[in-house]
Chain A
Amino acid sequence: MSNKTNHLSRRGFLKAATIGAGAIAAPWVWVPKKAFAVSPAFGKAKHVIVFFAGGGMRTSAVFNGDVAKQYNPYGIHNTKADWGVSSLFSPDPLELMTWGPGDVVPSFPDIANEVAMLGAVDHAPGYMGGGITSHNTTPLRMATGYPGGLNSFLSYVGQWKAATSEKYIPPFVVGNQARTFSMGVGEHALYRAVSLSGPGDFSQLTGDFDADDSGLSWNSELEKALDTSFMNSRPYHVRQKVKGTMQAKDDAMEFLETFLDPALHLTTQPEASLGGITNEQLLEVFPDDHWCQRAAMAVRLLQIGSPIVAVGQGGYDMHSNEEMSLRPKIESMGRAMSGLKFVLQRLEHPEGGTYWDHTMIYACTEFGRDGTYPDTGWNNGGGADHQGSPASRNQSCPVMGGPVTAGGKLIAPTDPMSYAAVDGNAVHSQSLLSTALDVLGIKSDQYLEAPPIHELFEV
């Protein structure tokens, strides 16, 4: 991308941020509740997986496709779901060789009836100006809830997890495109998500953490003796800080053992197994390296105890050539989502039931896309833009998993001809974050202003 565009858009982003902040502050636009009721699914999940598509996915052509051609030129599959499942998803199930006889991973259209769809998710519902479609602020909104947010909601989850569990395993981000989900400052910096660039990162840890392949106990012994001596030689206010540092190092050593588990070396240790599933089997369900392998890593991270994983992918800013480029990415996403259902339903959770029972999964992006012609469904370049009209201000987000009871339903529907939220009832994008916190058992109103989405759990 040209730097010119970047530079301009960043200046624009500041202005957009100001508008966004104004929108939130303006009472006639959206009156945030100071405190709100928890959802019926409060505390029912132990894990959350977030898919984040960087660049602004054209979700009207993917997840909410029963609309005018202008918004979805690809058509839809015939399914039992209330929402339009785009033809971009492959209808073919995936036959498996390394699993049980006859095991197949269903296609995404096959499981659509178990996926609830949020038709209109808007960063500033009710705001009378244009929609917010800045590449600079919207990833922050999806990760922090605010255009200038500093703490990803994953850091809140991390803090909660650290306070409530015996063994703390942090949140994770898999894929640099979701890097904003690992943000955290001040005390939240300590609970930031561990950021992995991809599924191969753990394979490199051996070299990094245990550089001479001799184990760390030798170093730790000396290190601890020096730390203790240093701590004891200092006054109270320094001792407290040093003690915290020493505790963090101890915790890190605990993690290290976990991180060196061969099962996390997804791409290099095919025979390594966790929960009865080998890496080879996992990669058969998640075959490609776009969304799938990252989703497979998310499974492993849940298995080691992480409460939440954000999976990122990019390349969705398709101002041109969308027809050729979008399909393989969406096929991968569909495969990843149906693969998650397949695998999580086969993994026993240590606290009873399966991982599927205890996991909520949703997908989101920066914003939707517009600027397309009614007759073709694309712009002049065969792509779509983001100019703030309803099709770009409203993104559509699928939500699924054990706690979700509104499978197949379309919540906050859009007008098929304009893609505007019907009766103006769009879901605030911040509500996605609130919902994730809520299902994990964290009161979201201590961090965020938009309530959890009750409709996902009230059917």
Chain B
Amino acid sequence: MKTRIHFVLSLALTLGLLSTTGCESGDPVGDQSLVDGDESSNGVLDPPGETTGGEGMDEPLVPVDLCPEKGCDSVLDETILEQYAMRDVLPVDEAPERLCRRLAVDLWGRIPSWTEVEKHCIGKSPAESVDAFMDAPQYATYAQRRWADEFEYNDSIVWWQYIEDLDKLVGEMYAGTLSYPDFASRALIHPAFISRYDGDALVGAAFRIFMARDALVAERKDLIKLWNIWETQMGYDSDWYLEYGEVVVDLRKCSGTLNKAKCTASLYGGAQVVLPLVDIEDPMSANNVLGLDQLSESDLAVLNAPGELFRSMDVFYEAAVDRVLSRFLGYDSGVLFGVPIQLVPDLRLELIEILHSSGGSLRAVEREVLASRLYIQSGQRPDEVPTTDDAPFNDHEANTMIDRAPWAYGPTKQMRVEAWMNSIQNFAGYGHTEAWVEGYTEVLTPAVSGACDHRYPNMEPGEITEDEMIYHPSNYPLADAAINRPDFMYRDFARNLGGCPNHVQFTRFTGTGVILSLESTRYVNSACFQMSSGGMFPMDHNMFDVSTEGLTQLIVHQFRNALTRDPSETEVSTLMNVMQGCLAESDKCPPDVLGRKVCAALMRTTDFLYY
């Protein structure tokens, strides 16, 4: 240990920091230090249980009773801070405007405007900001989009009204009116789920969604029996001229001794999904096929066996909290503090306890994670922390350095495609739609943005006559309101970048690459250089004002609304020089396009893409 000088706070500095910064919001990022800047330090993390403050010291350098002083807003913080203390790491709060951005993208699916930053974050505690974002309706709406990927909505396979109904259940869950276990029970026998998958793929999907793993072969073969009574038959949506797979309960499939066996699972305590025939005289009668509206409460109690079975298992709850951790932290949350999360059982158990004590509220679990130190701490690496770029990824020594401990920093994640596109729209005021491109701007108000309806990725039309089509209602912007024809430009563009998936031909992905870069450049340029886009200019801004004051105003406006932060003095000065240089070439850089150029540059930065 003598040769391994630790990069930690001294107790004095720790206490000093606490007394000056604590968990006050508004601290400028960069002025705080995650760790001591001791020149002799090398950024190595302490193994848990070892103290590093000096020879013979038994007390951890970061006291474990930080909560009273820091005013912990999450019940998780005590556990988290204890873990930090064991490793002599002190979390530093994220700057309020950057936390605002993190929360907005995570909970609303887009960056916040500066007005929203001032309203929800400046001068507010992190917990107050979390609550403000969670209380807005966008919180549930965005959660619905996320769950669309879990259930792999595809309206060419599943009737759109089934999907609409399941989507509403997700909304209820995030509004706090439906518990997670009850949601799972209803979802597992929901027609939108049942008609989505064939054969034992249904069991696989159920496990993937609610148990965070695929089902084993034996589980698939056995547990599919809990769904055998369900059947899909031809239905017709006469309102919208669509044929669809109507989900019914076919009592005949589980009647009789042999068939009963096909509807009786034995794993995990076993369960039987058998309902008595309605028409006993004629067992094969169509009267023994029940529509969903014919099911009684007692029928549903029997049919509900999959949900009962799932929620009886611990893994069901562990999967739920792991999903929340993974979603908000971004890094492999299965490994926290350098060890598998199962080895930090307190944290997981606390979240499960919250889930139980809140009556199954997933919202409550999310709130605790969002308000915790893991989430609200700064994502920046202080200059004093040495980088480890010279060492390979699997270098053991380098992997013990604080530079390589994701949990020692607040999360920095790449935006999903829709969040990225919505953020650009929000900033530039640009709706990427057919109507805009074709110049029919009178069709759409500036408030109408491009969008894809996560429920209906395909939107196939109903056929009234051979020549007459109509589309069912959706949340797409409309290209032809007379027949509800959606404007697909946003959707199709998003698909090039991995968004708006239909989970068959188009799947969700988030990444970077040459093609994604080119495609995203096209979108950015469309948004910034479309003359109808104006959000990149301050209100009442004179585009021809190229005075230092005018340009500074433009720079600050764009940084605040695009990157959700103020520019540093260096950035203002650099940008000013570049802009003035550009202006000198008046043929290439007329003043009125200068703001658009800055817009395009900022939108393409990684500072914008990551949050």
Q: Give the nearest-CB partner of A193 in chain B.
A: B515
CB B87 to nearest CB in A, in angstroms, measures 15
CB pair B463 A3 closer than 8 Å: yes
A residues 155-210 with Cβ under 8 Å of B?
168, 170, 179-180, 183, 185-187, 189-192, 194-195, 208-210
Q: Of B404, B588, B606, which one neighbours A246 at CB under 8 angstroms?
A: B606
CB pair A7 B597 closer than 8 Å: no
CB B183 to nearest CB in A, in angstroms, measures 26
CB pair A6 B156 closer than 8 Å: yes
Given the known inter-chain contacts A3-B242, A3-B460, A7-B460, please indicate yes or no for A236 contacting B515, CB distance below 8 A: no
For A168, A222, A236, the residue with the greatest tally of chain B CB atoms inside 10 Å of its CB is A236
- Does A241 interact with chain B (Cβ within 8 Å)? yes
Given the known inter-chain contacts A3-B242, A214-B588, A239-B389, please indicate yes or no for A189 contacting B511, CB distance below 8 A: yes
- Of A10-18, A57-65, A79-87, A294-302, the stretch lying at the interface with chain B is A10-18
* Cβ contacts under 8 Å, B529 to chain A: 211-212
Per-position binary interface string of chain A over residues 218-262, scored 1 when its CB falls under 8 Å from any chain B CB and 0 otherwise: 111111011101110111111111101110110110011001000
- Does A4 interact with chain B (Cβ within 8 Å)? yes
Q: Of A18, A214, A218, A245, which one neighbours B199 at CB under 8 angstroms?
A: A18
Given the known inter-chain contacts A209-B521, A235-B403, please indicate yes or no for A183 contacting B505, CB distance below 8 A: yes
Separation of A309 and B604 alpha carbons in the complex (Å): 29
Separation of A395 and B589 alpha carbons in the complex (Å): 57
Q: Give the nearest-CB partner of A143 in chain B.
A: B505
* Cβ contacts under 8 Å, B600 to chain A: 211, 219
* Cβ contacts under 8 Å, B593 to chain A: 212, 214
Separation of A233 and B95 alpha carbons in the complex (Å): 14
* Cβ contacts under 8 Å, B138 to chain A: none
Main SS of the interface on chain B?
mixed
CB pair A209 B513 closer than 8 Å: no
B residues 473-521 with Cβ under 8 Å of A?
496, 498, 504-505, 507, 509, 511-518, 521
Q: Of B241, B509, B610, which one neighbours A3 at CB under 8 angstroms?
A: B241
Per-position binary interface string of chain B over residues 572-584, scored 1 when its CB falls under 8 Å from any chain A CB and 0 otherwise: 0011001000100
Separation of A225 and B567 alpha carbons in the complex (Å): 13
For A3, A6, A14, A168, the residue with the greatest tally of chain B CB atoms inside 10 Å of its CB is A3
CB pair B243 A3 closer than 8 Å: yes
CB pair A222 B607 closer than 8 Å: no
- Does B596 interact with chain A (Cβ within 8 Å)? yes
* Cβ contacts under 8 Å, A142 to chain B: none
Separation of A14 and B382 alpha carbons in the complex (Å): 53
Separation of A18 and B575 alpha carbons in the complex (Å): 58
CB pair A236 B518 closer than 8 Å: no
B residues 552-611 with Cβ under 8 Å of A?
571, 574-575, 578, 582, 588-589, 593, 596-598, 600-602, 604-607, 609-610
CB pair A233 B381 closer than 8 Å: yes
CB pair A219 B601 closer than 8 Å: yes
* Cβ contacts under 8 Å, A350 to chain B: none
- Does B528 interact with chain A (Cβ within 8 Å)? yes
CB B540 to nearest CB in A, in angstroms, measures 23
Q: Which residues of B contact A (CB under 8 A)?
A: 30, 156-157, 198-199, 232, 234, 241-245, 331, 379-381, 385, 387-389, 393, 402-406, 408-409, 412, 414, 460-463, 496, 498, 504-505, 507, 509, 511-518, 521-522, 525-526, 528-529, 571, 574-575, 578, 582, 588-589, 593, 596-598, 600-602, 604-607, 609-610
- A sample of 18 cross-chain residue pairs with beta-carbon separation below 8 angstroms, ordered by A number, consists of A3-B242, A3-B243, A185-B507, A194-B518, A211-B526, A218-B578, A219-B604, A222-B574, A222-B575, A222-B578, A223-B605, A226-B571, A230-B605, A234-B379, A235-B379, A241-B414, A249-B517, A252-B517
Q: A190-B512, A211-B529, A219-B600 are in contact. List 13 more A-B contacts (CB 8 A).
A: A3-B460, A6-B156, A150-B507, A187-B511, A189-B516, A190-B515, A211-B600, A218-B601, A234-B380, A235-B403, A235-B405, A236-B403, A245-B606
